[in-house]
Structure 1
Amino acid sequence: MSDDRKRQSAKAVSIEPATMPAGGWGSVSEVTHILLDQHVAGKDSRLLMRQNKPDGFACVSCAWAKPANPHPFEFCESGAKATAWETTSRAIGADFFERHTVTALESWSDHDLEDQGRLTEPLRWDAASDKYRPVAWDTAFAEIGAALRACQRDQVVFYSSGRASLETSYMYQLLARMYGNNNLPDSSNMCHESTSVGLKKTIGVPVGTVTLDDFEKTDCIFFFGQNVGVNSPRMLHQLQEARRRGVPIITFNPLRERGLVSFTNPQSPLEMLTGSETAISTQYHQLKAGGDTAALMGLCKAILARDDAAVAAGGQRVLDMPFLHEHTDGFDDFAAAVRACPWQDIEREAGLLREALELAADVYCNSSAVMAVYGMGVTQHRNGVQNVAMIVNLLLMRGNIGKPGAGVCPVRGHSNVQGQRTVGITEKPELAPLDKLKVQYGFEPPRKPGMNTVEACEGILARRVQAYIGLGGNFIRAVPETAMMEAAWRELPLTVQVSTKLNRNHVIHGKASYILPCLGRIEVDRQAGGAQSVTIEDSTACMHGSRGLAEPAAPGLLSEPAIVAGIAKATLDANPRVDWDGWVADYARVRAAIAETFPEIFHDFEARMWTPGGFRKPLAAAQRIWKTESGKAGFTVPDTLQGDPDTAGRDPDALTLFTVRSDGQFNTTIYSNDDRFRGVKGSRMVLFMARADMARHALSAGELVTLRTPSDDGVARRVAGLAVVPYDIPEGCVAGYFPECNPLIPLWHHAKESKVPAAKSIDVLVERMASGSAS
């Protein structure tokens, strides 16, 4: 978007006080509005009654767990928006592209692009007219296959979002490896790779240990950097039930997010009629952005002090010493580091007082089963892996992993982002069953490490990548370094997007570009073997069947498995052990192949896929079996309390920016420009700022500013036209929306070890614009 459009957008913004609870009539109003706005037919609106049900379809939005005994309305506002967005009556045909050149579409907003409706036929960009033109499926596959065969095999990227099913993901990773590389970056690289690395290293599994049942048995929940009201609203049911039992919920987050403040259950007639609210957090600590390690260090220090006092008094130990001796190593080194860490350093880096941390530690010490829930506010930092390890440290001190009601609960984003990793989507060859694939399919899998998301971007910027295949997602909008990436993207010889809706990755395209429109998960998938079902994995490592129920948006759409098979057949030499056509005809055959590759997880796959609540993959740490190098759960000594070591010697006028999502979006999909939980209407070009920082920079509410990154690498990174919004935010920190603020993130500014872009801690300078303000 041009700076002029950004200014116009900023001028349209209005700010109102936001005090409503999550859920309630506001949620009902939002769902009703989007169903009407997208012209969702009455029969399709009834689909919501089958959403996240054992005999229905898995939500295409977040990956939160699906209960065995669901609520009558087992969907949330975000999930209803996703369903309306996919089952919309709006559609894009060839006539749309006759009216609009691709260059003209570049000026459209993210919302306006997707709001045009469903893509209905395969398209190929025509350079002469600068328009997408219809192309036959067979022609598209043949041309894509010919181009891929001409590429250098290790310079092709196979990206996947978290939308694709287990069946599609398995086929896709096989396509990439039979093609000749492990270049399988995915959306995990942009969010929870810090979890995969940190948990694997400390407790031996790359995912959380908590199930829905644990919410019924816990007696304390700690929240770190996760906005439940926007990113996983169905969890509010578990939190409300926990609060009714008197379970304390202690939150650490820079912003006071409405979903962690109060909740009115839309499924309760009494609550809706009376306007009653459930207070969610019993303590709310607004730490500085990047202050997670320091806050956790303070909690651990306070816990150790209470244990020391108990020992001195001859009382019962606070620490679970039998657990520590039998199941952990490294505790003595960790305890020594904690004791040596000064409180003044903890307070400075956390932005919290010692008394506040001791108050939270008291609750922890008096609880016997503690869960730690966290999101990208923990993982998207330079020290994101260290943050995850510190959460593990906290839990291990009192044996809070591997017992009922306790454990670590990372909240994943897109609906099958965790599952695609389970079936082989990974750039790390050591994590893929390559030897098994070799025997099963009679080929030599590549052993060279592939590109993750950051490395794929580096390859694109260096003009090394020759082709990009995107299985869903809006990659160019989601990644850092927006300006440089868009310029380099146009130089890619080939870009292919498997999509349901138009987005920026279609209008910023390679020299040869194809859009391959696919069926959505909610739609009936009719193949030669009849109507097909698929499977996904939720955040708690449970597998679920999903059956499409809506009629397809257009008769010519292909399913994701059919598109992957079409590319594979056009690109790869024939292999008698891989019957792509047979797999497309009957997805049960794909599931049989998955079970053969991963028998420990997927044995009896077909029989178990419709288990109410899903069937869970084995997680050793949940049984206190530690598949680590030492054979025990490991304590980790943090390298530093700083969330962002890149800010050493920073400009004294610099602020720490962290990006947030609104209630009107899911990832890069923007449903509206409003954010009712923060009182913002009409624009996403806003900057949330503490009044003290506004005074220090002599800024007034609504004034338009430019943010720029003060890096010394010669790259100009700036976002102009942001309207200043006074907000309850820690001094020294500012917040802006993802993905609008992505141009400010240097590609090199990523988490150590995991390479997750550090979007939650960006050094920025604020500059006043020449004129203009928002209303």
Structure 2
Amino acid sequence: MPSEEDTVHYEGPSGGWGSVRGISRIFGKEWATPLATETLFRQNKPKGFMCVSCSWAKPANYHPFEFCENGAKATLWELTTRRCTPDFFAKHTVTELRDWTDYDLEQQGRLTHPMRYDRASDRYVPCDWDEAFREIGSELRRLDPKSVVFYSSGRASLETSYLYALFARLYGCNNLPDSSNMCHETTSVALKKVIGAGVGTVVFDDLQNCDAMFFFGQNTGSNSPRFLHPLQEAAKRGVQIVTFNPVRERGLEFFTNPQSPVEMLTGKETRISTQYHQVRPGGDIAVLMGMCKHVFTADDDAREHGRRVLDIDFIEQHTSGLEAFEAKVRATSWEEIERESGLSRKNIEAAAQVYVEADRVIGIYGMGLTQHMHGFENVALFVNLLLLKGNIGRDGTGISPVRGHSNVQGQRTVGITEKPELVPLDRYAKQFGFAPPRDTGMNTVEACEGILSGKVRSFFGLGGNFVRAIPDRDRMEKAWTTMRLTVQVATKLNRSHLVNGEIAYLLPCRGRTEEDVQASGPQAVSMEDTFSCIYGSLGRRTPASEHLKSEVDIVAGFAKATLAPNPKVRWDDWVGDYGLIRDQIAETYPEQFHGFNERMWTPGGFYRGNSARERIWKTESGKAEFTTPETLSATGWPDAPGRYRLITMRSNDQFNTTIYGYSDRMRGIEGTRDVLLINPQEMQRANLQEGQVVSLVGDAEDGVERAVFGLKVVPFSLPDGCLGAYYPEMNPLMPLSHHDGPSKTPAAKSVPVRIRASDERGDVTERLEPPGHATHPV
């Protein structure tokens, strides 16, 4: 592994003054009123609003500043005084705006008026809401419901999500993909298969009761910074934290608490990870097999002394499939494991020994596990490891996928899914007096395939930046314009709003921080966090424009303009009082949402429950299931000379596709996103120089030409055979066909690419393929 001294890196801890400066920079630019400060103090507090960024918990015992750098940025981004008005669109054609960066588009501020795309002038022009609803409803009635896709990002509330899913099914389809399809659908499928519950089993209090934590492919410092507080507390009390990640993420190395005056004044920092292993991208299956191999060996040794490492009682009572898995592990050689993982046997056994010695273990992971062609096996193998010692279903133990968007998990809970078997359709039928569709709808990959083939004729985007977030972006944008109707609901302008169907609408909505007054008075909404707890959220800021509608009101407007009247479906009543929507949710999901209105303001949220946490296994076998992998590599494609594994990464200055700026402070990269990260040894083998401008070309062997030009070479600490570059800029290199099999989650963490030299105009001039380069195990 290259020395960090030879690479671009950040020497400070996560948090600390760097975090304060990051917030201050956005605060200065996005200052709305002095009330912005008061709004931040209400963030993630009782009777306040839930963060519009990640899905971390809103704890009952909260800090004075219960927000992180990215959470503050997201709130101030929404509170900006900038306005994107009809005058702006009158000055710029849509074609012209496609050349703008993501950052510059969002810098125009909050959308203020409903807009219709005028193809003749290539501009958005203002329209009124009644006109928009009328034409959208008219078009939907002409289309085959199976040809319409209803996408939602992870920020829509439970109330909005429930109505959106109901509208789609009343209309006649289950085409309800959401942002989970692009990140944690692997989790939903794998955990459902092996433990019978499609979400994590850990609750917030478990973090205070464990002896060890194992992290795989999760960047806490940038993606869920408030997690750093309980991590710091755990590290201080001696919890062993072992991390596997191709990138050395600063948040899992050192942390200085911005809320501690002593730490801020003295610069004191806490070491987070006791072990940090830079696994090859796609090498996690091999690592987990190696750790399990060591656990079996340790159990063999213990048996000679009349003891056991394995929790035999738990295994016999609660699991199935161990025999086949154990035989596979024992038959797998350390040579194979080292080759595929890029790690030494010594390091893997050191990590596994921590697991052997710990009584209560939590497994934590992110998209570094899920976004591979064999992501299912990644997640299932992690569960296998935990099952060996009964580390699911006890306090201080469990599997914990850290979710991204603030309500992406909750949307699935209340019906946003293409899978009819996950929705109580019989209750739907009785509750609303209709026959809901029973066929499987389209997920994100299938929706994209449908757009390419012409099968999909209309796309609704409830938030998000779908076109920018999906694989094969260049191909998708060309096909997008062949659709008949596209509708986007948003707070700010982004790339997806500039690629339109024949008829297109851009409809502005209120943000979560803003007051939502309806017929019965001010309305609150609710969200679910990554620990399956439900919270109320109440906005108080004056909306950015008098022309904005709430998402609930917009969904109801679509429905009333499209569907025949139904006395059991009371759109106007629901818009007037969101409590009535929560009553409907409780009727559809009584086990989880009973007494919803009464419980939604419970400090710390109310827990909706998890059967696997209670050791009730709703699987085919009725037990937790060990999975036997068929491969040690999660990439799904072979190594070859000149082929690299590209990781797409997010910077410290973005949240998903939202770019707040050009400062990736915790990686030491400033002022640009057009970079190619590569370790110095690989640079030498490929005859590259620091600062050289190169291109990346896809190497998927599917006949499709893919390329991204104008990337500056930056030396960076990464495993051999591996490259890093930013998401979403690298999405054109991601083949739509490269996805996890069972879940169809796109494989963004191991994209096959080659490097080519190019000049500053992006013209490819020379192909760079170091002779004989295939893999370089550390």
Q: CA deviation at 1:55?
A: 1.3
Counterpart position of 1:239: 231
Aligned to 1:143: 135
- Shift in Å, 1:714: 2.0
> Hey, what does 1:555 align to over in structure 2?
546
Q: Which residue of 1 aligns with 2:97?
A: 105
Structure 1 residue aligned with 2:329: 338
In the alignment, which of 730, 742, 754 is matched to residue 753 of structure 1?
Answer: 742
The whole-number CA distance in structure 1 between the counterparts of 2:238 and 2:480 is: 53
Question: Contact 1:467 / 1:495 at 8 angstroms: preserved in 2?
Answer: yes
1:701 aligns with 2:693: no
Within a 5 Å distance, the mapping from 1:566-715 to structure 2 comes to 566-647=557-638, 650-715=639-704
Shift of 1:17: 4.0
In the other structure, the counterpart of 2:752 is 763
Q: Distance in 1 between matches of 2:555 and 2:354?
A: 51
More moved, 44-53 vs 526-535:
44-53
- Residue 217 of structure 1 is matched in structure 2 by 209
- The residue aligned with 1:381 is 372
CA displacement at 1:494 relative to structure 2: 0.7
Residues 1:17 and 1:393: Cα distance change in structure 2 (over 3 Å): closer
Partner of 1:738: 727
Instruction: Tell me if structure 1 keeps the 8 A contact 2:8–2:714.
Output: no
For the 8 Å contact 1:39–1:90, the answer to whether it is kept is: no
Q: Does 1:281 align with 2:253?
A: no
- Residue identity opposite 1:78 in structure 2: N
Q: C-alpha separation between the residues in 2 aligned to 1:549 and 1:555?
A: 15
Q: Deviations over 1:330-389 (max 9, x none)?
A: 111111111000000000001100000110111111100000010000000001011000
CA shift, 1:213, in A, is 0.2
Q: Using the alignment, how far apart are the partners of 1:771 and 1:499 within structure 2?
A: 35
Q: Return 15-24 or 217-226, whichever deviates more.
A: 15-24
Which residue does 1:4 correspond to in 2? none
Aligned partner letter, 1:524: E
Distance 2:292 2:115 in 1: 56
| Secondary structure class of the residue paired with 1:414 | coil
Q: Which position in structure 1 is the counterpart of 2:383?
A: 392
Deviation at 1:37, TM superposition (A): 0.7
1:444 aligns with 2:435: yes
CA contact (8 A) 1:60 1:521 kept: yes
Q: Map Cα deviations across residues 35-64 of structure 1 (whole Å, 9 max, x no partner).
A: 111133211222111101121000000001
The answer for the alignment partner of 1:8 in structure 2 is: none
What is residue 70 of structure 2 aligned with on the other side? Answer: 78
Q: Aligned partners of 2:98, 2:618: CA distance in 1, in Å? A: 49
Distance 1:470 1:17 in 2: 38
Deviation at 1:674, TM superposition (A): 1.8
Aligned: 1:160 with 2:152: yes
Amino acid at match of 2:180: S
Residue type matched to 2:712 in 1? A
Q: What TM-score results when the alignment is normalised by the length of structure 2? A: 0.96
Show the counterpart of 2:766.
none
Instruction: Measure, in 2, the Cα distance between the counterparts of 1:460 and 1:194.
Output: 23
Distance 1:293 1:485 in 2: 32
Q: 1:177 to 1:348 in 2, by over 3 A?
A: same
Aligned AA (2:739)? H
AA in 2 matched with 1:156: V
State the Cα deviation string for residues 6-40 of structure 1 (Å, max 9, x = none): xxxxxxxxx96411111000100111110111133
8 Å contact from structure 1 (residues 208, 540) kept in 2: yes
1:512 corresponds to which of 471, 495, 503: 503
1:595 and 1:133 map into 2 onto residues whose CA distance is 41
1:311-330 matched pairs, under 5 angstroms: 311-312=303-304, 314-330=305-321
Counterpart code for 1:326: Q
- Paired residue for 2:282? 290
More divergent stretch after superposition (506-515 vs 115-124):
506-515
Q: C-alpha offsets along residues 625-650 of structure 1, whole Å, 9 cap, x if unaligned?
A: 11111111110001100111222xx4
Describe the shift of the 1:772–1:141 C-alpha distance in structure 2 as closer, same or farther (beyond 3 A): closer
Aligned partners of 1:704 and 1:772 also within 8 Å: no
Q: Of the candidates 361, 364, 368, which is equivalent to residue 359 of structure 2?
A: 368
SS of residue in 1 equivalent to 2:26: helix
How do 1:109-128 and structure 2 match up within 5 A?
A: 109-128=101-120
Report the alpha carbon displacement of residue 96 of structure 1 after superposing the two structures with TM: 0.4
1:558-579 deviations in Å (ceiling 9; x for gaps): 0000000000000011111011
3-state SS of paired residue (2:665): coil
1:357 aligns with 2:348: yes
What letter corresponds to residue 565 of structure 2 in structure 1?
A
Aligned to 1:264: 256
In the alignment, residue 750 of structure 2 is paired with which amino acid?
S
Are the equivalent residues in 1 in contact too, given 2:9–2:666 (CA < 8 A)? no
> Aligned partners of 1:380 and 1:713: how far apart in 2?
20
Secondary structure in structure 2 of the residue aligned to 1:755: coil
CA distance in 1, matches of 2:385, 2:371: 20
Equivalent residues of 2:293, 2:329 under 8 A apart: yes
Once the 2 structures are TM-superposed, how far is the Cα of residue 315 of structure 1 from its aligned partner? 3.5
Residue correspondence of structure 1 range 437-586 to structure 2 within 5 A? 437-586=428-577
Task: Report the equivalent of 1:12.
Answer: none
- SS of 2:581's partner is helix
The answer for the alignment partner of 2:24 in structure 1 is 32
Closer, same or farther in 2 for the Cα pair 1:273/1:705, shift >3 Å?
same
- Is the partner of 2:329 in helix, strand or coil? helix
RMSD: 1.0
Letter in 1 for 2:242: I
Secondary structure in 2 matching 1:646: coil
2:377, 2:634 within 8 Å by CA — same for their partners in 1? no
Deviation at 1:290, TM superposition (A): 0.5
Q: Residues 171-229 of structure 1: CA distance to partner in whole angstroms, max 9, x if unpaired? A: 00000000000000100100000000110111110000001100110010000000000
- Quote the residue 2:769 is aligned against: none
Would you identify which runs of 4 or more consecutive aligned residues in structure 1 move more than 6 Å?
A: none
TM-score, length-scaled by structure 1: 0.97
Tell me by how many angstroms 1:657 deviates: 0.2
Structure 1 unaligned segments of length 5 or more: list them: 1-14
Unaligned runs of 5+ in 2: 1-6, 763-778
Residue 410 of structure 1 is matched in structure 2 by 401
Change (3 A) 1:722 1:359: same
Contact 1:703 1:772 in 2 (8 A): no
Q: Which residue matches 1:179?
A: 171
CA distance in 1, matches of 2:36, 2:10: 32
Q: What residue is the counterpart of 2:3 in the other structure? A: none
Counterparts of 1:198 and 1:153 in 2: how far apart (Å)? 30
Q: Percent identity?
A: 58
Q: Contact 1:35 / 1:45 at 8 angstroms: preserved in 2?
A: no
The Cα offsets for residues 214-246 of structure 1, whole Å up to 9 and x where unpaired, read as: 011001000000000000000000100001101
Aligned residues: 756
- Alpha-carbon displacement from aligned partner over 1:431-467 (angstroms, at most 9, x marks no partner): 1111110010000101111000000000000111111
CA distance in 2, matches of 1:561, 1:717: 40
Q: Hey, what does 1:42 align to over in structure 2?
A: 34
1:66 equivalent in structure 2: 58
Take 1:558 and 1:315, find their aligned partners in 2: how far apart are those partners? 68
